Amino acid sequence: MSAADQDWDEGNPERLYVITRGRRALAERTTFDLVTLVVSRAEPTPTMQPEHAAILRICGSPLSVAEISAYLRLPMSVVTVLLADLLAEERIEARAPVPKAILPDRALLEAVMHGLQRL
């Protein structure tokens, strides 16, 4: 049984509300995909909100938005608000996933198949 199958809990909405200062993720959703790779471009500073600092700290090497959400144990919707803050301040770099046309590029598929073959 996977964790995903059991986790259907009431969250802690008040805490999340504080972290984002009540802001919503609607606009940011278009900027950040689950697999957008994020890399720090600045060091955390002592005056920063702890969650912002934590993101800069763990993104020394590229991490997907999903991984950031997992490591910080924050919902995607909260993480994308925080990432949008950092992106606006140019403290992170966001490497967007491949834009998908109607079907994925054949060269990309070949690369993935080649990689899977080696597993």
Partner 1 sequence: MDFRDSETVLGPQSADLLPASATTAVKIVIVGGFGVGKTTLVGSVSEIRPLTTEETMTQAGAGIDDTAGVELKTATTVAMDFGRISIGDELVLYVFGTPGQERFWFLWNGLFEGALGAVVLVDTRRLEVSFDVIGRLEDRGVPFVVAANTFPESPSYPLDELRAALDLPDEVPIVQCDARTRESSRDVLMALMRHLYNLSAPPGR
Shortest Å distance, C-beta 68 to partner 1:
9
**Nearest-10 crossing angle of helices 50-58, 65-72:** 120
Q: Is 46 in the site for partner 1 (CB under 8 A)?
A: no
Q: Is 50 in the site for partner 1 (CB under 8 A)?
A: no
Q: Is 40 in the site for partner 1 (CB under 8 A)?
A: no
Binding string, 58-97, against partner 1, x = CB under 8 A?
x-xxxxx-xx-xxxxxxxxx-----------------x-x
Buried b (16+ CB within 10 A) or exposed e, 6-25: eeeeeeeeeeeeebbeeeeb
Q: What is the four-CA torsion angle of 99, 104, 107, 109, rounded to 10 degrees?
A: 120
Among 2, 46, 88, 90, binds partner 1 (CB under 8 A): 2
Which of 12/47 has CB closer to partner 1?
12
Residues 79/16, Cβ–Cβ less than 8 Å: no
End-to-end alpha carbon distance in the chain: 25
User: What's the chain's Rg over C-alpha atoms?
Assistant: 16
Which residues of this chain interact with partner 1, rule CB under 8 A? 1-5, 7-17, 22-24, 26, 29, 33-37, 39, 54, 57-58, 60-64, 66-67, 69-77, 95, 97-100, 103-106, 108-117, 119
